[in-house]
Amino acid sequence: MELLDVLKKYFGFSSFKKEQIEIIKEVLSGRDVLGVLPTGYGKSLCYEVPAMMMKGPTLVVSPLISLMKDQVDSLVEKGIPATYINSSLRLEESNERKRNIRKGRYKLIYVSPESLKLKRFTDLLRDIKIAQVAVDEAHCISIWGHDFRPSYLEIHDFIETLENRPVVTAFTATATGQVIEDMENLLHLQDPFKVLGNLDRENIYFGVVTPENEMEELLKQVEKRRGEQGIIYCQRKIEAQAILEELQNKGHKAGIYHGGIKDEERHRVQEDFSFDRINVVVATNAFGMGIDKSNIRYVLHMGIPKNIESFYQEAGRAGRDQSYSESILIYRPKDIYKQRRLLQISELSLERYQIEEKKLFMMDGYGKTKGCLRQYVLDYFKGQEDELLRKENEAQTINCGNCGNCIEEGYMNLTTLAKKILSALDEVGGKCAGHLLKKMLYGIEPRNMSKENQVRINAFGSMKNHKLYYYERLIGFLLQEGFMRLEDESLQISDKGKDLLKGETEFIVSREKGEEKEDYQEELLLALKKKRKELSIIENIAPYIIFHDENLRGIVRKLPKTKKDFFEIRGVGKTKGEKYADPFLRVIHNFLKSKGNLMTTGSEFEKGLNDSISNIPDTYDLYQEGKSVEEMAKILGIVPGTVVDRLIRDHEKGKDIDLSSLFESSLEKEIHESVKRIGVNKLKPIKDDLESKGMIVSYIDIKLVFYKYYGIRKK
Ligand SMILES: [Zn+2]
């Protein structure tokens, strides 16, 4: 099987990310790999896909026993033969699995590092030919890492005892320079292919607040985001409990998650959160590991965690769908003393104590820095800690344009953002109509721009992670300050603007106080989310399975007028489009109607919508017009089976439909006879049965018999 086939068949994706495919090819060629790939990147695919293609099994070393079961369950669900061996299994179960390992039944075997010390088990592993050893959370091997685990040091000893050395791959989400060095040396990787992914999470806004009353502040922060999905991390159970109660008093749908609650309860909270049945989870730590929820909009930290690695990993659970998300630290200067006290009473060696203490100081520095918060974290991972501590009080030099210190401190240095806008303008020849420029920067295909042009523009979509009101303000400021000018309704770059692109001047504006401008797009987004929630309840599936937040944003950006427009939105496609166009188009329609003249082209737009919605024919209407199943299928652009499904559903709802009029009636009796003998389990055996007697029947006819005689609706 080809790489892409494996990806599609087992994992349901149709393309790899750039680093994934590079890594996979190296692994398959037999080369060791060291990968530092951010949370949510999909690093497990980098060893799972090769595992499916290699001759022997892959051994995955993973530190988290509690997660192993979930990881393996989810693989098995995808049809991948996988298992795990750790101390949580009963003896019988463990023996059964080991027998199956010997028989070569698995492609992936998950083990804890400790189990590599058990002689009988390692004897077994030596007998089977292991093709790959994948070390997950490989930072655990380093004393400089944030979760040092001494037994990781023995992985290499184990590999040494194997007759044929397998490919060794090591992965982690976050690692400083020192940790990366340790991973390479202590695992004795041989000329590894190194991939250090971009750790920057551009779509996350980072902010720090230092309030007088922290609980008040926390409630204020959550209230601002009422209804959105978020996680609040704090350090102690008792505090988590207090926060939960406050939130519930204020009417927030909240849950709690920490080590002290029962498995069952924890599982329920995770599920309620996955399905958006609750909006906020208050957690001590570990929450979020292993749940693949993409629409978390914000992560709040009440006080500092023990190091930047933990902080960044937790904050990084926000915005995995690449939509705008926020990380807010509620900073309390006294936290560092409490945390240090905890370190002092733990039983760490002196060396480790000193390392952990330094990490804690670095985390505390994040709460105090006046520089760019994003840069602070990225510098930390680049291993510039000492430099950072020294630089602490110096003026900031870098501006990310999307963190509290870069855009909210007295003045705003908006050079980076201004460059995005001006270079887009520059790229299209220095002049462009305002609305086209906006579409370009937000990655919306301008309809009257040729395909060729879109591809050429580097700036295409470069601002899609920024809220729209930033953009509109920015354009205003840029005009005001003379970086560009308005001529014949087009924006034009000025000489001053060109200087900015050359780096000869900066774009700094004083901070404007007051509320954020109301953004009607946000309002529509909320309305679409509400509809999605309703549908998810009806269908009993998680909201993000219907559409990711990013898909909804696409809908907001494109404002589709017709079904066809709707299908074309990224992430919608034909199947989902068919299912959901009607309800979502109606939301847009009603929203625009309620806004009346807010839209410049309002009336025209509304007319288009009215037409398109009334033009979408209903199956039942067509049926009443006397159309045949085939005719209906053609008009609606769907297969005949779906037409019948819809009509059966309408009939079930009590609509007046004569089922026999849809029948190939000459065969009804034979089908019914066959069903009586074979049963109503599946459609196919009935079809086969009749075919063996020389009768060709369609699934539609069988479906109708099922429904007519037994009231069973089959898909
Ligand atoms: Zn910044």
Residue 507 C-alpha to ligand 1 middle, in angstroms?
Answer: 15
Write the CATH number for 455. 1.10.10.10
| Residue finishing a domain among 461, 492, 514 | 514
Residue 379 C-alpha to ligand 1 middle, in angstroms?
Answer: 12
Residue 218 C-alpha to ligand 1 middle, in angstroms?
Answer: 22
Distance CA 582, CA 575 (A): 13
485 in the same domain as 598: no
Mean pLDDT to the nearest integer, 423-443: 85
User: Which domain range does residue 509 map to?
Assistant: 411-514
Q: What is the pLDDT of residues 456-507, one digit of tens each?
A: 567 777 777 666 666 777 787 788 778 998 887 789 999 989 988 887 777 7
Q: What is the pLDDT of residues 94-106, one digit of tens each?
A: 999 999 999 999 9
Residue 410 C-alpha to ligand 1 middle, in angstroms?
Answer: 14
Is 147 within the bounds of a domain? yes
435 in the same domain as 342: no
User: What is the pLDDT, as a whole number, of residue 148?
Assistant: 86
Rounded percentage of the chain residues whose pLDDT exceeds 70: 87
User: What is the pLDDT, as a whole number, of residue 693?
Assistant: 84
Tell me 307's DSSP state.
S
Mean pLDDT to the nearest integer, 627-631: 81
Residue 535 C-alpha to ligand 1 middle, in angstroms?
Answer: 38
Q: Report which of 553, 543, 609, 545 is spatially closest to residue 582, judged by C-alpha positions.
A: 609
Residues whose CB is less than 8 angstroms from the CB of residue 15 and which lie 6 or more positions away in sequence, other chains included: 4, 7
Residue 356 C-alpha to ligand 1 middle, in angstroms?
Answer: 26
Is 627 within the bounds of a domain? no
220 in the same domain as 177: no
Q: Report which of 269, 266, 219, 274 is spatially closest to residue 245, judged by C-alpha positions.
A: 219
In 272-322, where do the E strands start and end?
280-283, 298-302
| Residue finishing a domain among 559, 589, 616 | 616
Residue 89 token pair: 């299994």
121 in the same domain as 10: yes
Please count the structural domains in the chain.
Answer: 5
Mean pLDDT to the nearest integer, 312-322: 86
Cβ contact 207:318 at 8 Å: no
Residue 216 C-alpha to ligand 1 middle, in angstroms?
Answer: 26
669 in the same domain as 644: yes
Residue 205 C-alpha to ligand 1 middle, in angstroms?
Answer: 8
| Residue finishing a domain among 335, 359, 391 | 391
Distance CA 474, CA 490 (A): 16
Q: Which of 29-33, 366-370, 540-544 has the lowest mean pLDDT?
A: 540-544
Residue 405 C-alpha to ligand 1 middle, in angstroms?
Answer: 6
Main-chain dihedrals φ then ψ at residue 98, nearest 5 degrees: -65, -40
Please determine, for residue 637, whether its predicted confidence score (pLDDT) is greater than 70: no
495 in the same domain as 385: no
384 in the same domain as 235: yes
Please determine, for residue 189, whether its predicted confidence score (pLDDT) is greater than 80: yes
Please determine, for residue 348, whether its predicted confidence score (pLDDT) is greater than 90: no
Taking the model in full, what pTM does it have?
Answer: 0.59
Q: How far is CA 659 from CA 203, 617, 629, in A?
A: 53, 20, 11
User: What is the pLDDT, as a whole number, of residue 282?
Assistant: 95
Residue 501 C-alpha to ligand 1 middle, in angstroms?
Answer: 19
Give the confidence band of 409 by pLDDT, cuts at 50, 70, 90.
very low
Q: Which of 175-179, 548-552, 598-602, 687-691 has the lowest mean pLDDT?
A: 598-602
Main-chain dihedrals φ then ψ at residue 507, nearest 5 degrees: -115, 100
Classify each residue of 609-636 as buried b or exposed e, where b means 16 or more C-beta atoms within 10 Å of its C-beta: beebbeeeeebbebbeeebebeebbeeb
Write the CATH number for 365. 3.40.50.300
| Amino acid type, 159 | I
Q: What is the pLDDT of residues 522-532, one digit of tens each?
A: 778 888 988 98
Residue 400 C-alpha to ligand 1 middle, in angstroms?
Answer: 4
Is 630 within the bounds of a domain? no
546 in the same domain as 499: no
Residue 409 C-alpha to ligand 1 middle, in angstroms?
Answer: 11
Residue 375 C-alpha to ligand 1 middle, in angstroms?
Answer: 6
208 in the same domain as 188: no
Residue 329 C-alpha to ligand 1 middle, in angstroms?
Answer: 14
- Alpha helices of 146-212 — where are they, by DSSP H? 154-160, 177-186
Give the confidence band of 602 by pLDDT, cuts at 50, 70, 90.
very low
Cβ contact 60:86 at 8 Å: no
Residue 319 token pair: 């915005």
| Amino acid type, 273 | F
527 in the same domain as 499: no
Q: Which of 108-117, 354-363, 558-567, 589-598 has the lowest mean pLDDT?
A: 589-598
Biggest CA pair distance of the chain: 89
User: What is the pLDDT, as a whole number, of residue 665?
Assistant: 63
Segment (H or E) for 255:
strand 254-257
Residue 396 C-alpha to ligand 1 middle, in angstroms?
Answer: 9
Is 404 within the bounds of a domain? no
Residue 243 C-alpha to ligand 1 middle, in angstroms?
Answer: 29
Highest mean pLDDT among 265-269, 280-284, 692-696: 280-284
Q: What is the pLDDT of residues 199-255, one digit of tens each?
A: 888 788 899 999 989 999 999 999 988 889 999 999 889 999 999 999 999 999 999
Q: What is the pLDDT of residues 40-85, one digit of tens each?
A: 678 899 999 999 999 999 999 998 887 788 788 888 888 899 999 9
Measure the CA angle with vertex 638, ends 636 and 641; round to 5°. Answer: 120
Is 624 within the bounds of a domain? no
Residue 144 C-alpha to ligand 1 middle, in angstroms?
Answer: 26
Reduce the secondary structure of 462-497 to three states and give it as a string.
CCCCCCHHHHHHHHHHHHHCCCEEEECCEEEECHHH
Mean pLDDT to the nearest integer, 388-410: 60
Classify each residue of 127-160 as buried b or exposed e, where b means 16 or more C-beta atoms within 10 Å of its C-beta: ebebbbbbbbbbbbbbbbbbebbebbbebbebbe
Residue 155 C-alpha to ligand 1 middle, in angstroms?
Answer: 40
Residue 404 C-alpha to ligand 1 middle, in angstroms?
Answer: 7
More confident: 507 or 91: 91
Measure the CA angle with vertex 381, ends 376 and 384; round to 5°. Answer: 70
Residue 114 C-alpha to ligand 1 middle, in angstroms?
Answer: 42
3 state SS of 223: helix
Please determine, for residue 258, whether its predicted confidence score (pLDDT) is greater than 90: no
Residue 376 C-alpha to ligand 1 middle, in angstroms?
Answer: 9
Residue 203 C-alpha to ligand 1 middle, in angstroms?
Answer: 12
Burial zone of 271 (CB within 10 Å; 0-12 exposed, 13-18 middle, 19+ buried):
middle
Residue 420 C-alpha to ligand 1 middle, in angstroms?
Answer: 15
**Which residues are placed with Cβ below 5 angstroms of ligand 1, an ion?**
372, 374, 400, 403, 406
Q: Which of 129-133, 176-180, 194-198, 407-411 has the lowest mean pLDDT?
A: 407-411
Mean pLDDT to the nearest integer, 567-593: 81
Is 600 within the bounds of a domain? yes
Is 628 within the bounds of a domain? no
The angle, 0 to 180 degrees and rounded to 10, between the axes of the packed helices 45-53 and 18-28 is: 40
Cβ contact 533:587 at 8 Å: no
Q: Which of 71-85, 301-315, 631-645 has the lowest mean pLDDT?
A: 631-645
Write the CATH number for 548. 1.10.150.80
Residue 391 C-alpha to ligand 1 middle, in angstroms?
Answer: 15
Residue 555 C-alpha to ligand 1 middle, in angstroms?
Answer: 29
3 state SS of 91: helix
Mean pLDDT over each residue of the chain, to the nearest integer:
82
3 state SS of 168: strand
Residue 281 C-alpha to ligand 1 middle, in angstroms?
Answer: 27
335 in the same domain as 218: yes
Which strands, in side-by-side order, build the sheet including 230-233? 204-209, 325-330, 298-302, 230-233, 280-283, 254-257
Is 544 within the bounds of a domain? yes
Residue 402 C-alpha to ligand 1 middle, in angstroms?
Answer: 6
Please determine, for residue 617, whether its predicted confidence score (pLDDT) is greater than 70: no
362 in the same domain as 254: yes
User: What is the pLDDT, as a whole number, of residue 390?
Assistant: 52
Main-chain dihedrals φ then ψ at residue 486, nearest 5 degrees: -100, 125
